[in-house]
Amino acid sequence: MRSFARVRTLTNDEYLALKKMERSRKLAAGKVKRAQVVLLSNQGYTRAEISEQLDMCEHTVSRWIIRFNKLGIVGLEEGPRGGRPKVYSSEDVGVVIETALTSPQKLELPFNVWTLDRLVNYLSETRKIAMKRTRISEILWHEGLRWRHQEGWFGERVDPDFARKRGLSKRSIQNLQRTASLSA
């Protein structure tokens, strides 16, 4: 004997919303498929027939029908998935951002500007947060912070004798004298 996991009677609003979801080209494919499961169940198809038609496991079909019966259309949303736990706490991330935004001189450090290597060293030695350069860079990037590169050639020259050592500049393009073209 076939087991029937039937969807409850749909309201008119639910039916219209499910039909709209079924035809959608912008929703995630999984959500569209879940709407199809509910609509097929509403039309009287069994779990086995729905699973065969939509190429799904019968258990999955039952699960989505049961969730819809309990929660309605909201039940067709995917729940949060498990994954790798966070390695760094939100407090650690906050410390990284706060430190990067603080001038090294305020922290009585012997340099004026942070680099990733200096930030890694400071965080590991002073704040006891062992974090790699790439992770710090990702954190700052996600916060919308960008590193500014020091443009040393715009400022005052470090070597006062630079001009004398460099010598005279040579013109890279010679002035070409125009010759009058005579046409006879």
Whether residue 70 is predicted with pLDDT greater than 60 in this model: the reply is: yes
| Mean pLDDT of the residues in the chain | 85
Reference 24, options 76, 98, 84, 80; nearest CA is 76
pLDDT band at 86 (very low <50, low <70, confident <90, very high): confident
Overall pTM surpassing 0.75 (yes/no):
no
What single DSSP character describes residue 178?
Answer: P
Distance CA 6, CA 46 (A): 8
Q: Which pLDDT value is given to residue 2? A: 46
Neighbours of 129 (CB within 10 A): 19
What residues contact 8, with CB distance under 8 A and at least 6 apart?
A: 68, 69
Quote the Cα angle for 167-170-154, to 5°.
70
What residues contact 100, with CB distance under 8 A and at least 6 apart?
A: 114, 119, 136, 140, 145
The predicted-structure confidence for 11-50, as pLDDT tens digits, reads as follows 999 999 999 999 999 999 999 999 999 999 999 999 999 9
What residues contact 143, with CB distance under 8 A and at least 6 apart?
A: 97
Among 77-81, 86-90, 135-139, the range of highest mean pLDDT: 135-139
